[in-house]
Structure 1
Amino acid sequence: MAETDLYAPVKAWLERLGYEVKAEVGGVDVLAVRDGVPLVVELKAQFSLTLLHQACERLAVAEAVYVCVPRRTGRASHKALQANIRLCRRLGLGVLTVRLRDGAVEVHADPGPYAPRKRADKAARLLHDFKRLQGDPNLGGTRGAVMTAYRQDAERVALHLAQGPAKGAEVARATGVPNATRIMADNHYGWFRRVRPGVYELTEVGATVTQARPGMDKAPPRT
C-alpha cells in the first residue's frame, strides 16, 4: 500500500473545501492554500514516529497540519488508531484516514490546542492501589507477571486459612484485609472453597500456594 495512493483522495477532498492543492512542495507531501493560508498534510502507509516527527516539523510553517494514513478494519486497528488520534491531538496535529476502496476521507481530529479531560476516578484508583501495595515487590518495566495489592491480600487470606476453615469476618479481622470475604467468594485464583455459608477453607491449589508463595501474578482483577 503506497503513500501515493492516498494523494488523489486527499487532494479531491481539499479542493472541495476550496483549496488549491499541490504535492511535494519544499519537501511537504501535500500543500494546500486557501486565501493565502497554507495547510499541510503528511502521508504515510501507517503511523510511525517518522510521520509524527515530520508533521511536528511542519508546524513551523503552517498552523494547520494533518497526518493521513489508510483506514484499516479490525478491532486491533481501531484501538491503535484511537490511541494515535489522542497522541496527535496532544501534539496539535489533525488526523485523516482514507478508505481506499472508494477514496472516502474521514476527519478524526482537527489541528489545534488540546487539553485532555482529567479522570479523577482513575487517579484515585491509582493512588488507592499504590497505598494498598505493601513494599515495592516489582521491577519497573516488567511485562506480564507482577505482584499486585490484590494478590498480596489474597495471600494473606490464604495464609490465615492454612490454619483451618474460618468465617469471612474472622479472616478480615485477623489479616487486616477488609474485603477478605469477597476475595474468597470471587475465588479469582482458585485457592478458596466455601464449606458452608460464610465459612471458607483452602483448596488443594491454595494449600500449595501458601507453601510456595511465588508472589507473582499476571494482572489484578477489578475490585
Structure 2
Amino acid sequence: MGLAETDLYEPIRRFLEEEGYEVQAEVKDCDIAARKDGRLVVVELKRSFQLKLVYQAMERQRLTEYVYVAIPRPKKGQREKSWKDMLRLLKRLEVGLLTVALDSPLQSVEVVLEPSDSMVWKKKKKEAAVLREMDGRNVSANTGGATRKKIVTAYRERTLELCCILEGRTEVTYDQLRQLGLEEGQLAILRSNFYRWFRRISRGVYALSEEGEAALAEPAYGQVVAYYREKHQHKEEV
C-alpha cells in the first residue's frame, strides 16, 4: 500500500474499535480484518476509487458478506456524477463504502453504504481461515492500507465550524472571525450561505439561523460539532 492507504488505516482502526471490533491489518491479503460476535468485516483501502479496488472487494466477498471499500472523502460530496456512478456500482455489487476525512483534524469516518445482506454465503471455510489467522496473532504490528444521506464533506465541516462560532452570539462580524483565525475562504461560506444556516444582519455581520441551530443538533454531525465547540470555547477562554 502507498502512503495514502496507510493514512486511512488509523482512523478506520479507531472507528471499528469504538464499535467494539477486534482489528488487525494484512490478514490473508485483507487490508483490514475485524471481528465482533463472530462477524468478520473486511475493509480494502485505496487513495481513490478505481477498478482495482472493486476487484479486490469482489475477491473479499469470497470470505465474508461484510466487505467495505475505504477512500478519502470527496471534496464535492454527492454533487459529482462520478460519485453517484460509484455508489450505483457498489450498491449493485453489494459492497459497503467508508470515507475518511483526511483533510480534517478530526479524520472522521463516514459509513456511506452498508453491504447488502441479501446474498447467500457458502465460503465459511475461508472465513474460518481468516479468523484462525487473527487468533494466532498476539501483537498487531501491521499497518493496513444503512445508507447515510448526509455526507460530511470538507465544505460542510467548515460551515459547521462557523455555526459553532455563531452559536450563542447575537451577531458576529468579519473582523471578529478574522481575529479567531478564520481564512477568507470561510468568510465566503457566510456570504454564499449555501445551506441557509446563517442570517445576514447587515454588510459583514451575520447570525445563526434556525436551520443552523437544527444542523448543530443533527446526530450525523455530532462528532464534528463537539470538536469545534471545544476548539472555539478554548480560544475564548485563552
Q: Quick check: which one's helix share is greater?
A: 2
TM-score (norm 2): 0.45
TM-score (norm 1): 0.48
Q: Which has the larger radius of gyration?
A: 1
Q: Quick one: higher RCO (CA 8 Å, sep 6+), 1 or 2?
A: 2
